[in-house]
Amino acid sequence: MSYVVPVHRPSGVRHALKLRFLSSTQDTLVVAKANRLERLRPAGSATDHLLVGTDRYQYFTCSWDAAARQIKTEQSYVDQADKVLRSSREMDRANFDPSGRFITLELYDGVVTVRIDELLVRSSAFVQTEPESTAPPRLALLWEDNHDEPQLKVRELRYTAAADPPTASLLPVAELRRTLDPGVSHVIPVPAPYGGFLLLGEASIAYADTELNHYFSQPLKQQPTLWTCWTKVDDMRYLLADDYGNLYFIMIETDDHGVVSSWRLDGLGTAPRAACLVYLDAGCVFVGSFSGDSQLVRIVEAGVDVLQTLPNIAPILDFSIIDLGRGADAPGASEFSSGQARIVAACGAWQDGSIRSVRSGVSIDEIAFLTELPNITDLWALTAHAPAGQHDTIVLAFVDETKVLRLEDDSTLAELDDFYHFDLAEPTLLAANVPDRKVVQVSDTGVRVVDLESSMLLMEWRPPDQGAKITAAAASPEHVLVVEAGHTLHLFHTSAAATSKPGPATSRTFALDSQISSVTVPESQSDVCILSFWHTASVAVLDLHSLETVCSQSVGVPGTDIPRSVLVANILPDSPPTLFVAMLDGTVLTFSFDILKPSLSSMSKTLLASEPVFFKLLPRHPDSPSGLSNVFASCEQPSLIYSADGRIVYSAVSYDKIARVCYFNSASYPDAIAIATPAELKLANVGTERATQLQTLPVHQTVRCLAYDVGARLFELGSIRREMQDGNEVLYSSVKIADELTFKELDSVDLEPAELVECIISAGHFETETDDSLGDMFVVGTSILHGHDEALEQDARGRIIVFEVSAERKIKQVTHVNIKGACRSLAMCDGKIVAGVVKALVLYGLAPSRSRGRHSLELRALGSYSVSSNPLSLAVTPATATTPAIIAVADLIKSLTIVQVQPSSKPGPGVELKEVSRHFASIWSSSCTAVGDNEWLLADMDGNLCVLRRNLDGVTDDDRKRLQTTGEFRLGEVVNKTIPIHVPAASEQAVSGKGKGKGKERTGAHDLLGSPTPTRRSNGGGGGSAARTGPIITPKAFLATVEGAIYLYGSLNPAYQDVLLRLQTGLAAKVQAPGYMPWAKYRAWKTETREENEPFRFVDGEMVEQGLLNLTDAQLTDVLRQTGLADPNPGPAVSLHEARAWGEELRRLY
């Protein structure tokens, strides 16, 4: 049983409209990120209505219900599907008569609501007339004849309402008998009184009047271009956008008689490639992009200013999953165990191409800009004059000084020249409030304790050795600890009696090989402190009274693993505190710290960054249990560390330019944090829930494919760029490697002319037949383009190239092989390369060259198998001790084929690729992956998903060779790439609740993009029946689509299959869809050859989650009653509370 839910919803903008939808006086921008929408205002309506069309040819209208604050269906959907007609080869269009009486739909070739002679219509528009006109409307059609020549024709709509049934026809009234620009693509209707049309061509722009009698054309002054969209500014001015991201302003010019005589085109600037333009008002334009970020821009004299950017990751061409916490030492730990996992995707196209990091993180929202202050090394919030519990002062440390800023009552910030005897000429290591209205400062030259009431310096201490510096400090309400010269630890008490004696209460000097790197004191009342040591790679727990070592713990290899800082925090409820140790290489170690014994146990390791992490404590949300804290980890990948469901979660934050933070709770900005960036100081709020966060690396090329090399810790990219040469587009391909954290390009290699990169895989340390030592390697598959004058048999060729990443992180070509067809897909199979070539599947091995000597390598074909057309996707199941390797081949037109790798009957290293099973259906496949033993998930070009399984227990050979369909579902988006999630058995055991310890536990694959899933729950139902246990969903794969969506696919726990299917049926009947479209039909399988009425063995996670979480108690109780789930017989009853809890658990999956 299957489950699918969106992790990141579609982001590519295809359509946008400005209309008065929410009210009759306010303009609203409506954006469509899939399918299409249009607006219309019926007679008698104060607001505009939306006409919405789907790819199933279902159309309906809706409006905004201001009282209910939700969309209201005005006219239920009308099915315009016709199985006889051919779908339009151009985009579907809806045109509205200027008088508001008629709508035309162009969904099929040769049909504009009624049949016409023009089959291929490039563009169309109604002739603009006065709104009160009663003349029959006229429709201009820019169409293409059988000789690929564009033509312009005007037809008049004749509608007879008195007939039974009413009749309509489009009669030709005018035709332009001229040679048009071959690349003309758009018809822009010019409003009355001027009338006519602008015709946008690649090399010229032409004008024709309404009757097509007056015509003129002007060539473009710049080089030819491809127009994508336009929008009207006023009756004489329009905005245009082209395929290269350029924005233009075109103005119509008229003569003394008001007749259009010429036009003027001016460039405005650049923006992401626009799929739609909407002129809003006051020079503001919405640029909706499908291949780049959408933007709100303002037209200014110098060009365009970007006011707002809406991130978009469509189309996702390829992606990979990486985890920064792969350093877990626990046996069998999940590869995705830290909560720092992220999806890195190749997104966009051409100049908008980029690499996007997509991960679930906590949002940080800026609320105030304080000042520009670069190079802040640390900061602390203090209470000087504000009430207890509130802050009004920020102490900032720099390399050679300290600054103090006070937040005034009017929320302005003032820098203080002096502050309670603080030494502002020295860098501060620590500043904190202590009991009895006192404040302490530790600088690198001394310790000061000041009384805030009397402004009296209560204590000042400096190291006896004037040349010695204080290197570390920590404070609790009763104690201050400082480290002198890295070797001597001093303890100071903050009580009144102690501060009257200038000097430490206790001191201890350590050996020269035990240099102290950091010190910390637990938050809770305790009599211990913790130190970390550089040289010995260890941490030690000391008694606060005697400073004697109570226990110590190694954290690595001395001289290699270096601890830089430590912090103790109460993260987990009802559990001991947690000790965090930041290592020099960016790794964070955690220990369970038993204060009573005291002892350290349960070490785990997480890689957060490539540089040392700096910790700061932040209070939990006011609604959270008292005494608990979060930890903010500052590094190049900032993270918030908190607990969820009894586990520690490392969550990325949405703000990546953070040097240091501190908690700042003021009257004007309650529960805020102060953020020091490399150049500024700001205030922000930290979110309480995870959300999808994006990080972008612009490449300005189409990143065709992407692979992640775990061993080399880098990405391998295949990109394509285009350049204009003599008015023609020329494509170039290159292979690049980039750092895993910074995305910085490390090296690049250009491919041969006319060669396009198709696919790329990481091979790691390649298995060869020689003893030669090779570095981390990756394989690239290409295709080579040929001109029309070359031999036909050479039109489809390619290469398979093996590259090595050297120790200097440079690309070195190892070998390549020429192939007769384009290489569409690659995969690794037990150390060998599987190549999906046009019409063939080939297994290659790397062997010594027969012609160039032993130390030169070559790719040698070991076996092959003929496929029907293009093998677009491969899914390999490695061999085991009892079963051979299996390769699933998703063919472009012939669905899925299962091929088994068997030893060859002939002598030598060759193998045989034998077909063992096949899906006998005509499915245009797009991607596949293995989701279980002998089970695969297949996506097709129509936006469907199906789950296929081998029937190994079939009675006949035909049964065993025929793949069984175990699930069907319509996603509605084309899946470009599918990647499986591998959960080791040990992790699965932990997830299922077996052997689970209390307190800290690593998060599993269920937390790949969200919080960890509870592992065991009681039913709360009656009848004494067994409680449902284990996770509801086991994640199996991630799916990335053309529309910019990422979906999580999982399998349902058998204990929940019947329950969720019944819930889905009940919720579908309760949740009303716009247009009253039935949910079952919307999610049912649909291709040109087959259409079903409902999904098969699939649960729609989005609909189920929304129903469980958003329905009222009465509505959800009614669903449980109607589906029989409230009845304890025959199985455990489902309570309202349990159903809500299921919704929360499913939501936490991502």
Beta bridge partners of 948: 936, 965
Q: Between these two residues, 26 and 1011, which has the higher pLDDT value?
A: 26
Distance CA 863, CA 5 (A): 39
Distance CA 256, CA 243 (A): 36
pLDDT at 1005: 35
Q: Count of CB atoms within 10 A of residue 655's CB? A: 20
pLDDT at 915: 96
191-217 pLDDT, tens digit per residue, is 988 999 999 999 999 999 999 999 999
Give, rounded to a whole angstrom, the gap between the first and last alpha carbons of the chain: 19
**Closest Cα to residue 4, out of 1096, 1137, 951, 1087?**
1096
How confident is the model over 879-890, as a mean pLDDT?
A: 94
74-100 pLDDT, tens digit per residue, is 988 788 878 788 888 888 899 998 888
The angle at the Cα of 412, spanning 410 to 417, to the nearest 5 degrees, equals: 120
| CA 749 vs CA 752, 781, 812, 1025: distances in Å | 10, 14, 9, 64
Query: Can you point out the beta strands (E) in 919-1057?
Result: 925-932, 935-940, 944-949, 964-970, 975-980, 1033-1041, 1046-1052
Q: Count of CB atoms within 10 A of residue 474's CB? A: 24
> Is the pLDDT confidence value at 306 over 50?
yes
pLDDT at 165: 83
> Is the pLDDT confidence value at 894 over 70?
yes
pLDDT at 604: 85
The pLDDT-based confidence of 1019 (bands split at 50, 70, 90) is: very low
pLDDT at 40: 66
C-beta of residue 1009 within 8 angstroms of C-beta of residue 360: yes
- The DSSP symbol for 1012 reads P
C-beta of residue 345 within 8 angstroms of C-beta of residue 695: no
Q: Which of 3-17, 695-709, 753-767, 1056-1070 shows the lowest per-residue confidence on average (mean pLDDT)?
A: 753-767
> Is the pLDDT confidence value at 317 over 50?
yes
Q: Count of CB atoms within 10 A of residue 820's CB? A: 13
Core vs surface per residue 1074-1084: b (16+ CB within 10 A) or e? bbebebbbbbb
* Residue 754 exposed, middle or buried by CB count within 10 Å (0-12, 13-18, 19+): middle
464-505 pLDDT, tens digit per residue, is 888 899 999 999 988 999 999 999 999 998 887 667 777 899
C-beta of residue 238 within 8 angstroms of C-beta of residue 230: yes
How confident is the model over 1056-1067, as a mean pLDDT?
A: 94
Q: Which of 41-45, 413-417, 1042-1046, 1115-1119 shows the lowest per-residue confidence on average (mean pLDDT)?
A: 41-45
The pLDDT-based confidence of 1021 (bands split at 50, 70, 90) is: very low
The pLDDT-based confidence of 130 (bands split at 50, 70, 90) is: confident
CATH topology classification for 985-1147: DNA polymerase; domain 1 (1.10.150)
The angle at the Cα of 577, spanning 505 to 491, to the nearest 5 degrees, equals: 10
Query: Can you point out the beta strands (E) in 1042-1150?
Result: 1046-1052, 1098-1100
Beta bridge partners of 1052: 1033
In CATH, what is the architecture of 348-353+699-866? 7 Propeller (2.130)
C-beta of residue 734 within 8 angstroms of C-beta of residue 751: yes
Q: Phi first, then psi: what are they for 118, rounded to 5°?
A: -80, 110
Q: Between these two residues, 616 and 909, which has the higher pLDDT value?
A: 616
Distance CA 514, CA 628 (A): 33
**Closest Cα to residue 21, out of 41, 43, 1?**
41
Compute the half-sphere exposure of residue 306: CA atoms within 13 Å on the CB side of its CA: 12
Distance CA 86, CA 291 (A): 28
Beta bridge partners of 650: 641
Please report the DSSP string for 490-522 in residue order: EEEE-SHHHHTS-S-SEEEE--TT--EEEEE--
Q: Between these two residues, 996 and 708, which has the higher pLDDT value?
A: 708
The pLDDT-based confidence of 327 (bands split at 50, 70, 90) is: very low
Tokens for 989, please give them. 């055991």
- The DSSP symbol for 792 reads G
How confident is the model over 219-244, as a mean pLDDT?
A: 94
Strand, coil or helix: 1114: helix
C-beta of residue 803 within 8 angstroms of C-beta of residue 826: no
Distance CA 298, CA 296 (A): 7
How confident is the model over 1131-1138, as a mean pLDDT?
A: 86
Distance CA 640, CA 876 (A): 37
> Is the pLDDT confidence value at 1017 over 60?
no
C-beta of residue 1008 within 8 angstroms of C-beta of residue 339: no
The angle at the Cα of 941, spanning 938 to 944, to the nearest 5 degrees, equals: 55
Q: Which of 57-61, 137-141, 442-446, 645-649 shows the lowest per-residue confidence on average (mean pLDDT)?
A: 645-649
Cα-Cα-Cα-Cα dihedral of 254, 255, 261, 265, to 10°?
-40
> Is the pLDDT confidence value at 1018 over 50?
no
The pLDDT-based confidence of 974 (bands split at 50, 70, 90) is: very high
Percent of the chain with pLDDT over 90: 61
The pLDDT-based confidence of 1004 (bands split at 50, 70, 90) is: very low
Q: What does pLDDT average to over the chain?
A: 87
pLDDT at 1002: 31
Distance CA 722, CA 731 (A): 5
The pLDDT-based confidence of 773 (bands split at 50, 70, 90) is: low
Strands 516-520 and 227-232: unpaired
Cα-Cα-Cα-Cα dihedral of 1031, 1037, 1042, 1043, to 10°?
10
Distance CA 714, CA 712 (A): 6
C-beta of residue 529 within 8 angstroms of C-beta of residue 480: no
Q: Quick one: which H or E segment has residue 1147? A: helix 1136-1147
The pLDDT-based confidence of 15 (bands split at 50, 70, 90) is: very high
Distance CA 1080, CA 1090 (A): 16
> Is the pLDDT confidence value at 1034 over 70?
yes
The pLDDT-based confidence of 852 (bands split at 50, 70, 90) is: low
Please report the DSSP string for 435-480 in residue order: TTTEEEEEESS-EEEEETTTTEEEEEE--SSTT--EEEEEE-SSEE
Distance CA 150, CA 128 (A): 22
Distance CA 383, CA 394 (A): 9
How confident is the model over 152-172, as a mean pLDDT?
A: 90
Proportion of the chain in helix, strand, coil states, percent, rounded to 5: 5, 50, 45
**Closest Cα to residue 608, out of 631, 628, 625, 574?**
631
pLDDT at 1026: 43
pTM above 0.95, yes or no: no
pLDDT at 984: 44
219's CB contacts (< 8 A; 6+ apart) are 203, 204
Strand, coil or helix: 1021: coil
Distance CA 1077, CA 1091 (A): 16
Q: Between these two residues, 55 and 688, which has the higher pLDDT value?
A: 55
The pLDDT-based confidence of 1003 (bands split at 50, 70, 90) is: very low
Q: Count of CB atoms within 10 A of residue 388's CB? A: 7
pLDDT at 637: 77
Q: Count of CB atoms within 10 A of residue 514's CB? A: 16
349-371 pLDDT, tens digit per residue, is 999 999 998 877 788 888 988 88
pLDDT at 188: 97
Strands 614-619 and 629-634: antiparallel
Spacing of C-alpha 958 from chain mean position: 43
Residue ranges, comma separated, of all CATH 1.10.150.910 domains in the chain are 985-1147
| CA 610 vs CA 261, 556, 583, 742, 971: distances in Å | 64, 17, 10, 10, 39
C-beta of residue 827 within 8 angstroms of C-beta of residue 874: yes
Residue ranges, comma separated, of all CATH 2.130.10.10 domains in the chain are 348-353+699-866
Q: Which of the listed ranges 63-67, 149-153, 845-849 does the model predict with the highest average pLDDT? A: 149-153
261-284 pLDDT, tens digit per residue, is 999 999 999 999 999 999 999 999
> Is the pLDDT confidence value at 593 over 50?
yes
How confident is the model over 371-382, as a mean pLDDT?
A: 93
How confident is the model over 697-718, as a mean pLDDT?
A: 92
Give me the amino acid identity at 251.
M
> Is the pLDDT confidence value at 738 over 70?
yes
pLDDT at 910: 79
